[in-house]
Amino acid sequence: MTLPPATIAPFEGRSVCLFCGASEGNDPAFVRAAAAVGQATAEQGWRLVYGGGGVGLMGAAARAAHGAGGRVLGIMPAFLRSRERLFDDVETVVVTSMHERKQLMYDQSDAFIVAPGGVGTLEEVVELLSWKRLDLHHKPVVFLNLDGFWNGFFDLIRHSVSQGMTPSAFLDAWTVAETVEDAIQQAGVAAEAAIYDPR
């Protein structure tokens, strides 16, 4: 499948990408937190970059950001349009593949917040952290660790470090926030201080 090159409206401010689930999960606090992230980005004058869906945590975040008057950029692979249902009220770019989606989300963002999500969210952030491990970028990655959601992932990485498969310095590749307010603050401060690799 071939699509025309993505055309994205210029944005001069800071852009924060939210990785999160296309499902709501079992805990209503996850949906409330996603909406709070969206609202907070709008209040900060940031653009919210996300996966383009109108369902689950993704949809909650995008609707809240849009409802608060913020800029939102959704990036959606064509084959997921029916499953994740585009949120047409915001700027949305349709791309050909998951790889293109992730690359564009990265290119359009200054910082990343990782909220609860499933295997798709995990796959997105692992690739992002892998790029950081390879020194391909220095953009901040903040895990929104609601009720310890990401503790198992952190344990896995620490296990890899203890087994000599991952350098201990990799444990500094991200920060952890327990609340939305803390995640927004960390993303903003870190993005301001980061020196980005032009590659």
Domain boundaries, the chain: 15-191
Instruction: Spell out the CATH class of 15-191.
Output: alpha beta
Say what the pLDDT of residue 169 is.
93
**The model's pTM:** 0.91
Q: How confident is the model at residue 17 (pLDDT cuts 50, 70, 90)?
A: very high
State the DSSP H helix or E strand holding residue 23, giving kind and residue range, or none if neither.
none
Whole-angstrom distance, CA of residue 157 vs CA of residue 55: 30
Whole-angstrom distance, CA of residue 178 vs CA of residue 168: 23
Average pLDDT over residues 154-177: 96
Spatial CA neighbour of 85 closest among 52, 120, 124, 50: 52
Residue 39 has pLDDT above 90, yes or no: yes
Say what the pLDDT of residue 20 is.
96
Q: Where are the alpha helices (DSSP H) in the chain?
A: 28-44, 56-67, 81-84, 98-107, 119-133, 151-162, 180-193
Q: How confident is the model at residue 84 (pLDDT cuts 50, 70, 90)?
A: low
